[in-house]
Amino acid sequence: MAHPTTSISEQELVLCGQGRELVRDVLERIGDKWSVVVICQLGHTTKRFNELRRLSEPITQRMLSATLRSMERDGLVTRTLHDTKPLRVDYALTPRGLSLLAVARHLAGWAVDNAAGIQESREVFDAP
């Protein structure tokens, strides 16, 4: 890991200064509706388009296509076209994609740990 136990002050600097746009950028990457789902479904194994589509249900064809392309653009997945008939395309996470997978899992851990508590807070807040 590159930031294992970075000091708090350093991280605060990062988040308060120029780093803010970087962080926003990452959040746009990971915060859209499907990226994390696709990243997690891809995991460490290569998968085909329709395979991913089934695993990521109810994603639409359009959104899977768009999500994969912007991930490819960011160097998170590789796209390999096998020139067979019928067509066959394989997707796999790159090393960078795998490192994002780790972050996504960290996030997922927090989500699972806090989902119930948040739900409860909301109910209290929304009460009469």
Partner DNA sequence: CTGTATCCCATGAGATACTG
Partner DNA sequence: CAGTATCTCATGGGATACAG
Residues that bind a copy of itself (CB under 8 A): 2-3, 6, 11-12, 14-16, 19-20, 22-33, 36-37, 40-41, 43, 55, 72-75, 96, 99-100, 103-115, 117-118, 120-122, 125-126
Taking the complex as a whole, the smallest distance from the CB of residue 123 to a copy of itself amounts, in Å, to: 10
Amino acid identity for residue 94 in this structure: T
Partner from a copy of itself, DNA, none contacting 100, C-beta within 5 to 8 A by type: a copy of itself
Partner from DNA, a copy of itself, none contacting 59, C-beta within 5 to 8 A by type: DNA
CB-based contacts of 88, cutoff 8 Å, min separation 6: 48, 81, 82
Q: Among residue numbers 51 through 80, which ones bind DNA (CB under 7 A)?
A: 51, 58-63, 65, 68-69, 79
User: What string of H, E and C letters represents the secondary structure of 39-82?
Assistant: HHHHCCCCEEHHHHHHHCCCCCHHHHHHHHHHHHHCCCEEEEEE
CA distance 93 to 38: 10
59 or 93: CB nearest DNA: 59
Residue 117 DSSP code: H
DSSP symbols for 16-30: HSTHHHHHHHHHHHH
Of the candidate residues 22, 87, 103, 115, the single one contacting DNA (CB under 7 A): 87
12 or 28: CB nearest DNA: 28
47 or 101: CB nearest DNA: 47
Which tokens is 114 given? 């806090």
